[in-house]
């Protein structure tokens, strides 16, 4: 709540048009009422469903890793394990709560996604709730199922830049893009990767630049429900980025306009 309040207070001073993408951990049942209120108040632009509990419970047999998680939570390991078991007991409430939140999001025109879908069956389930976005599918079959259902697929731009995922998921975003199975590349915590990934796909002959750039511009706007931005056209907001690609391996953003207003320019722009 404090973050949302601070964002709204600072919004008039921000250079970018910033919105909130909320990833809801589905076992956090107690947060449902507050999330519903935020949806009604227009504070959330994209709601995604996460389930990281299986990952945490798998660590019970890995004491060193479990100790790291417990330390981050400022808990002892036994207390952390007890918490995991208590949270797991909420399983019967998860699906009804997901359905309730998804209905609220649809009612208020908020885009919906599911995160880390592991199977086509999971993708079909969340698609039935209105989650048109498949965020970081764990395998190609799940991405293909999302595409078959008419949904969008999000993968990480750093995956393109690195040539593979930082985890051993066996998926190369560049290969998925070549197969037409990626709609959006997201920064995934490393913001420069957006421009770098688009230019890398073009440089490597995987996609034409216009098509590669759509993965970080046109398509994210469309899937997020923004009809007034994401492309250069009459009536659009004129959100523009000037990129210096004289060094092909290192494209640099040298100027940015938001709604036609300059908000950034590098000192060497004149050169």
Closest by CA to 22, choosing from 259, 224, 256, is: 224
Which pLDDT belongs to residue 43? 95
Residue 167 has pLDDT above 70, yes or no: no
Share of the chain above pLDDT 70, in %: 97
- Under the banding of pLDDT at 50, 70 and 90, the label for residue 1 is confident
- The pLDDT tens digits of the residues spanning 211-235 come to 999 999 999 999 999 999 999 999 9
Reported as a single tens digit per residue, the pLDDT across 115-140 is 999 999 999 999 999 999 999 999 99
pLDDT confidence of residue 55? 87
Q: What is the mean pLDDT of residues 5-22?
A: 92
Q: Contact 259/267 with Cβ under 8 angstroms?
A: no
Can you read off the two tokens belonging to residue 151? 């949904």
Strand duo 46-50 + 111-115: pairing: parallel
Rounded CA-CA distance 176/51 in Å is 24
pLDDT value of position 268? 66
Q: Count of alpha carbons within 13 Å of 8, Cβ hemisphere only?
A: 10
Average pLDDT, the chain: 93
Report field, pTM of the whole predicted structure over 0.85? yes
Is the Cβ–Cβ distance between 252 and 11 less than 8 Å?
A: no
Per-residue confidence (pLDDT) for residue 58, from 0 to 100? 86
With bands split at pLDDT 50, 70 and 90, how would you rate the model's confidence at 65?
confident
CA dihedral 205, 207, 210, 145 (to 10 degrees): -170
Separation between Cα atoms, residue 89 and residue 47, nearest integer Å: 24
Order of strands across the sheet with 240-244?
A: 240-244, 252-258, 261-265
pLDDT for residue 211: 97
Report pLDDT for 164: 75
Condensed to tens digits (0 to 9), the pLDDT of residues 239-265 reads 999 999 999 899 999 999 999 999 999
Cβ-based neighbour number of residue 183 at 10 Å: 23
- The token pair at 83 is 């918490």
Q: What percent of the chain has pLDDT over 90?
A: 85
- Residue 117: which of 129, 108, 103 has the closest Cα? 129
Per-residue model confidence (pLDDT) at position 64? 87
Q: Which residue has the tokens 């969340």?
A: 126
Query: Do residues 132 and 223 make contact, with C-beta atoms less than 8 angstroms apart?
Result: yes
Count of alpha carbons within 13 angstroms of residue 258, beta-carbon side: 10
* pLDDT over 80 (residue 165): no
- Residues 159, 163, 165, 167, Cα dihedral to 10°: -150
pLDDT-derived band of residue 170, with 50, 70 and 90 as boundaries? low
pLDDT of residue 47: 98
pLDDT digits (tens, 9 = 90+) for 137-159: 999 999 999 999 999 999 999 99
Q: pLDDT tens digits, residue range 101-119?
A: 999 999 999 999 999 999 9
Does 171 score more than 90 pLDDT? Answer: no
**Is the pLDDT confidence value at 184 over 90?**
yes
């Amino acid at each position: 709540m404090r973050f949302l309040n601070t964002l709204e207070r600072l919004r008039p001073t921000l250079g970018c048009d910033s919105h909130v993408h909320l990833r809801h951990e589905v076992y956090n049942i107690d947060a449902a009422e507050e999330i519903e209120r935020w949806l009604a108040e227009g504070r959330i632009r994209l709601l995604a469903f996460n389930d990281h509990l299986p990952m945490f419970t798998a660590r019970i047999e890995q004491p060193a890793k479990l100790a790291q998680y417990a330390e981050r939570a400022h808990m002892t390991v036994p207390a952390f394990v007890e918490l995991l078991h208590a949270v797991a007991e909420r399983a019967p409430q998860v699906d009804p709560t997901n359905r309730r939140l998804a209905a609220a999001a649809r009612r208020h025109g908020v885009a919906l996604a599911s995160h880390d879908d592991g199977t086509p069956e999971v993708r079909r389930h969340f698609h039935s709730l209105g989650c048109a976005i498949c965020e970081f599918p764990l395998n190609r079959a799940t991405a293909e199922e999302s595409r078959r259902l008419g949904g969008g697929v999000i993968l990480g731009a750093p995956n393109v830049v690195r040539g593979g995922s930082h985890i051993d998921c066996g998926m190369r975003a560049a290969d998925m893009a070549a197969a037409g199975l990626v709609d959006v590349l997201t920064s995934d915590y490393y913001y420069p990767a957006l421009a770098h990934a688009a230019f890398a796909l073009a440089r490597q002959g995987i996609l034409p630049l216009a098509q590669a750039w759509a993965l970080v511009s046109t398509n994210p706007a469309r899937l997020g429900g923004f009809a007034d931005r994401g492309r250069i056209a009459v009536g659009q907001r004129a959100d523009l980025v000037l990129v210096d690609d004289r060094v092909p391996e290192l494209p640099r953003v040298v100027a940015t306009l938001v709604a036609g207003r300059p908000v950034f320019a590098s000192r060497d722009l004149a050169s």
